[in-house]
Structure 1
Amino acid sequence: MALLDRRLRCGLRRRRRGGGHRVGAASGARWGPPKPAGGHCYDDPSTSAAGSPQEVACADPHDEEVYYVFDLTESSYPGDTAIQEESDPQCGAALPAYTGDHASQYYFSYYSPDQFSWSLGDRVVACVLSRAPGSDHETSGGTKLRGTARSTS
């Protein structure tokens, strides 16, 4: 990934998945450097004044946790549908590998490049998990996560 500040890229798109069904989408979120890594926790960019995911300690309440990151390999921008067709199965398969038997407690989303950020060299897809409303692990504080969702088994 180029060392450009991803906050200038104005175009990561977030797609949220849950239970195999699309439950919404948001765009405009931007990662700042460094490249997101698995096991890092963030507050949702839609609730941030900065408009980009804000890293927080996983021990503190947070909205999302990165659990898998991969690079798209196409030479030219493949389009939203192709990115979704590649990202959904990779993120979906990586969730139970990360959370163990607790995968059903989470929705997964991913941040992916749009055409503009692609033109700047962005190829990163960051898979993130968030609490599924009504899950067994939901706290009295709502759907915020506390601690890591990474399985220890």
Structure 2
Amino acid sequence: MNININSKTVKRLIVPALILILIIICVEIKENSMEDKFAVTISSMNEEKQNLNEKINSLEEELKKAREENGHMSNQLRNAKENMADSGRLVKDNDDRLIIEAYDLYLEGKVKEAQKKVEVLDTTYLTELQLHIYKQIMIDK
């Protein structure tokens, strides 16, 4: 077989081959640059994920501390309510005691002494009976 190679045949074979080689090189370069871009994107996303995880951990620590403080504050509030209730009972007991002592003095005829005992009372919280006795003692001058 005798193949006659002339410049026209070379042009027909080599030019498309060169174009094909250039296309392959361009595609390979494009793929490499895309891989680099993806690698950079993945790297930055991993950094963001790490930062977010750190923020979540710090927020969880703050929440834990806030819950502990809330627990302490709840205990303090409960204790304060109990103390207020005890104090209220003491005031009521004191009011009862003063009214009884003043009424005894009033019945004995010691009106001025009885009035001195009851004048310190806050009439807002007196029961109806206590208020009636208070008025009876204070009116009798």
TM-score by length of 1: 0.15
Q: Greater Rg, structure 1 or structure 2? A: 2
Higher helix share: 2
State the TM-score, normalizing by the size of structure 2.
0.16
Higher strand share: 1
